[in-house]
Amino acid sequence: MNFKLPYIPERQNKPRTNGLTMVMDKGLSIREAENIISASNEYIDFVKLGFGTSAVVSGVEEKIRTYQKANIKVYLGGTLFEAFVVRNMFSDYLKLLDKYQIDTVEVSDGSMSMKHEEKCSYIKELSKNRFVLSEVGAKDASIVLSSDKWIAMMEKELEAGSKVLIAEARESGNVGIYNSNGTVDTNLIDKLLSKIPQAKILWEAPLKTQQVWFIKQYGANVNLGNIAPNEIIPLETLRLGLRGDTFFNFLPENLKEMKLTNQ
Amino acid sequence: MNFKLPYIPERQNKPRTNGLTMVMDKGLSIREAENIISASNEYIDFVKLGFGTSAVVSGVEEKIRTYQKANIKVYLGGTLFEAFVVRNMFSDYLKLLDKYQIDTVEVSDGSMSMKHEEKCSYIKELSKNRFVLSEVGAKDASIVLSSDKWIAMMEKELEAGSKVLIAEARESGNVGIYNSNGTVDTNLIDKLLSKIPQAKILWEAPLKTQQVWFIKQYGANVNLGNIAPNEIIPLETLRLGLRGDTFFNFLPENLKEMKLTNQ
Amino acid sequence: MNFKLPYIPERQNKPRTNGLTMVMDKGLSIREAENIISASNEYIDFVKLGFGTSAVVSGVEEKIRTYQKANIKVYLGGTLFEAFVVRNMFSDYLKLLDKYQIDTVEVSDGSMSMKHEEKCSYIKELSKNRFVLSEVGAKDASIVLSSDKWIAMMEKELEAGSKVLIAEARESGNVGIYNSNGTVDTNLIDKLLSKIPQAKILWEAPLKTQQVWFIKQYGANVNLGNIAPNEIIPLETLRLGLRGDTFFNFLPENLKEMKLTNQ
């Protein structure tokens, strides 16, 4: 905060253990990466170099270094991990991580099917010397998982060494934890949180309505991901109650008289 | 214009009294602010640091200075004004404006309810030594104001010292002067303009269809706001008839033979 | 590619004759143009300075030079060509091209009606010493052309000297080759390709679903246009099968066992 105001929710400083924000970089130039760092570095915990963009964007190693120097954990999109796995080239993926000097890695099975034991063995192997995020929930809208299945998988992945479970929504925000129209599957999420600690789950929430829903439901320090670069600052204002949608959420009762209907 | 063409609507130079464009900055870095200034400065009259983003973005004072040096009036989003008011801290808001050396200010009641006399007293107080814009119309879609009510409020706010009345649409463009599907409430707008001079109203028009509607209806020099940074130049082409949607709008009759149906 | 992977479709290097990508610049600053060049230059064949933006954006000549130095063919949006033609000022348009030192030009009739012979005569004139792209299909959703009409026009425009036929979709992607809801008019496209070589047509495909459709249907090296600057790298990952949507498209049969339903 640039100045003090009362009744603003507390946020941890980096490195944080809750209230994490993961930003999706779909191919920024180095200078654009510097721009978002200069405006919003303290609010960025992770940057994902989305899907296979790290394979094609120019200057990727310098960009990775730029993020790392700003104390941002940067990792390659899970789709790239899968592109190596589907080609039976997992050991080459490890070499790539070494070459790029990346200590954070996502394990996912959103673009291909994979036995869950196999997925967990990748998590186990990678978590020996890296910070592992693992993504749960298929990218394919036709695959519906029961909440028990979600929970069982989440527990096994934590056990295997995953530090953060990413609840899949895809860039468009209409699969996994969301219904096809982008609204949240509240029933599913309640069940997940009855068994898994909130701090362990990072919810992909590319749409503002989804961010608002999670903040109203689970507070300022819910973990949110797939945030577009130009939505980092707006998201932070939502977390702090400095935007219409969450304006009254963190105020004490005696200041709520002026609340609007439906707020 | 980089070159001359006949039948292009006249536009005033800055500082303008009509044909104003207000840009929404949701958390740009200083370098991004410089970018839009370098490409489109002559078309930007106001920059709003949207909602509470000025409280969280890094380098906000240098950014304010950057805009001001380019002869752009910069102001803090009305939601921040309200965040101080709801906490009974209006005098601290005045101190913040002084600290930031900001001479332009928005008075609004879009996120909280406020007696209209109270709103007008803020306008009166602030307009003593600042340029005041006041926003009319609630952010809450469930509140429908009659056109008489809109007009009465507008007249009182002008009387209190407001220089520009902002007709609320929110960032998403589906409340206030717009129906919930984003189309314009034409009946309401006709009535407003029967009583209030067009130059005094700045219409929030984040969506291109809305911008086109206002330009076709009220000409190139209608005041428009909540324009995204990457839509400043496209909006200017709409105003000048250099885009398909308004291509024939400013041409003389004898050049309209080639008009397409529905244009 | 920053590293080697098997089963990635081959792409020509610039200057390419197929797999072209045309980017829509709606008013970028010079520094923003530099940014996209630094991140993705090898994937950009054409930049269109959309509609009349070149008339209003500051620093346009320096920006044109910036693109040209990066071996990108840059041209002014067809709407500007039409803005001169509708005013009977074609010879002034030629002077503007000379002044801007632009060797690439778009001939279109998307914003005004024009006899097809007249359009072809402009193509003929301009193709004497310039690279001509000509756009087929009206911007007006109410005008429906039969596929025979599309083909006849395309053939005549090639004959007149057009090097690339642009299949119109407008920025919003819901007219011309698309239905009003943005889905592709597959029947029309099949018919066009039965007569016109694929390498000669550049499909405007601003929406990701459209890009995916063309790549799945016609391969990695289909020509695509009206790509937003922040979608250049994502599009390249679609072409290469490094994104979920096209993940299995270029893999050999024996690696497709892990395919998801609906993929």
Instruction: Go through the domains of chain A in sequence order and give each one's CATH number.
Output: 21-255 (3.20.20.70)
Q: Which of B174-178, B222-226, C4-8, C119-123 has the lowest mean pLDDT?
A: B174-178
The tokens describing A101, both together, are: 């000097």
* Mean pLDDT along residues C10-14: 97
Compute the distance between CA of residue B215 and CA of residue B234 in angstroms, rounded to an integer: 13
- How long, in residues, is chain A? 263
Chain C: closest CA distance from residue A201 (Å) = 22
Taking Cα atoms as reference points, which of B181, B201, B56 lies closest to residue B134?
A: B201
- Torsion C45-C50-C54-C57 (CA) sign: negative
Task: Tell me which of A41, A233, A235 to substitute to probe the interface with B (most B C-beta atoms closer than 10 Å).
Answer: A233
At C237, is the pLDDT very low, low, confident or very high (cuts 50, 70, 90)? very high
CB contact under 8 A, B52 and A263: no
Taking Cα atoms as reference points, which of A53, A168, A19, A185 lies closest to residue A107?
A: A168
Instruction: Output the pLDDT for position C170.
Output: 62
Residues from chain A contacting residue B102 (CB–CB below 8 Å): none
CB contact under 8 A, C258 and A114: yes
Task: Tell me which of C54, C90, C97, C112 to substitute to probe the interface with B (most B C-beta atoms closer than 10 Å).
Answer: C112
CB contact under 8 A, A42 and B30: no
At residue A132, φ and ψ (nearest 5 deg) are: -105, 130
Task: Tell me which of A61, A87, A112, A116 to substitute to probe the interface with C (most C C-beta atoms closer than 10 Å).
Answer: A112
Residues from chain B contacting residue A42 (CB–CB below 8 Å): 58
Mean pLDDT across chain C, nearest whole number?
93
| Angle at the Cα of C31 from the Cα atoms of C26 and C33, rounded to 5 degrees | 45
Of C38, C242, C261, the CB nearest to A80: C242
Instruction: Output the pLDDT for position B174.
Output: 59
Compute the distance between CA of residue C26 and CA of residue C33 in angstroms, rounded to an integer: 11
Instruction: Output the pLDDT for position A168.
Output: 80
CB contact under 8 A, C140 and B241: no
In chain A, pLDDT over 70 holds for what percent of residues?
Answer: 94
Q: Which of A91-95, A108-112, C19-23, C97-101 has the lowest mean pLDDT?
A: A108-112
Q: How far is CA C60 from CA B34, B37, B72, C133, in A?
A: 16, 14, 22, 21
Instruction: Output the pLDDT for position B181.
Output: 77
Residues from chain A contacting residue B62 (CB–CB below 8 Å): none
- Contact between B174 and B182 under an 8 Å Cβ cutoff? The reply is yes
CB contact under 8 A, A242 and B55: yes
For C181-233, what is each residue's pLDDT tens digit?
778 888 889 999 999 999 999 999 999 999 999 999 999 999 999 999 999 99
Instruction: Output the pLDDT for position C34.
Output: 98
CB contact under 8 A, A242 and B56: yes
Q: Which positions ≥6 away from B78 have C-beta within 8 Å?
A: B106, B107, B108, B110, B111, B135
Taking Cα atoms as reference points, which of B4, B6, B2, B1 lies closest to residue B251?
A: B6
Instruction: Output the pLDDT for position C172.
Output: 60
- Decide if C247 touches B, using CB distance below 8 A: no
The tokens describing B144, both together, are: 């429908």
Residues from chain A contacting residue B51 (CB–CB below 8 Å): 234, 237, 242-244
CB contact under 8 A, B248 and C79: no
Angle between helix C78-86 and C90-100 (nearest 10): 140
The tokens describing A100, both together, are: 């790029």
Give per-residue burial for B62-79: e unless 16+ CB within 10 Å, then b. Answer: ebbebbbebebbbbbbbb
The tokens describing B41, both together, are: 């400065």
Compute the distance between CA of residue C14 and CA of residue C20 in angstroms, rounded to an integer: 9
CB contact under 8 A, C240 and A53: no
Compute the distance between CA of residue B247 and CA of residue B259 in angstroms, rounded to an integer: 9
Instruction: Output the pLDDT for position C154.
Output: 96
Q: Which positions ≥6 away from A194 have C-beta within 8 Å?
A: none
The tokens describing B120, both together, are: 């007008």
Chain C: closest CA distance from residue B234 (Å) = 6
- Decide if A52 touches C, using CB distance below 8 A: yes
Chain B: closest CA distance from residue A116 (Å) = 41
Task: Tell me which of B239, B247, B251, B263 to substitute to probe the interface with C (most C C-beta atoms closer than 10 Å).
Answer: B247
Range 66-125 of B in CB contact (< 8 A) with A: 79-80, 82-84, 86-87, 89, 96, 99, 110-114
* Pair type for strands B104-107 and B73-76: unpaired
Per-residue pLDDT of chain B (263 residues; tens, 9 = 90+): 999 999 999 999 999 999 999 999 999 999 999 999 999 999 999 999 999 999 999 999 999 999 999 999 999 999 999 999 999 999 999 999 999 999 999 999 989 999 999 999 999 999 999 999 999 976 566 667 788 988 999 999 999 999 999 998 765 655 677 777 777 888 889 999 999 999 999 999 999 999 999 999 999 999 999 999 999 999 999 999 999 999 999 999 999 888 876 66
For A162-220, what is each residue's pLDDT tens digit?
999 999 876 565 567 777 777 788 888 999 999 999 999 999 999 999 999 999 999 99
CB contact under 8 A, C51 and B2: no
Of B34, B40, B251, the CB nearest to C58: B40
Chain C: closest CA distance from residue B96 (Å) = 32
Which residue in chain B is spatially nearest to A245 when comparing CA positions?
B111
Chain B: closest CA distance from residue A111 (Å) = 32
Q: Which of A54-58, A154-158, B173-177, C72-76 has the lowest mean pLDDT?
A: B173-177
Taking Cα atoms as reference points, which of A119, A235, A230, A96 lies closest to residue A166?
A: A119
At C101, is the pLDDT very low, low, confident or very high (cuts 50, 70, 90)? very high
Chain B: closest CA distance from residue A7 (Å) = 9
Chains that touch A (3 or more CB pairs under 8 A): B, C
Please determine, for residue A109, whether its predicted confidence score (pLDDT) is greater than 60.
yes
- Torsion A87-A92-A93-A96 (CA) sign: negative
CB contact under 8 A, A232 and B27: yes
Residues from chain B contacting residue C96 (CB–CB below 8 Å): 3
Instruction: Output the pLDDT for position A260.
Output: 78
C80 CB-contact burial (10 Å; exposed 0-12 / middle 13-18 / buried 19+): buried
Taking Cα atoms as reference points, which of C192, C193, C222, C198 lies closest to residue C210?
A: C222
CB contact under 8 A, A259 and B141: no
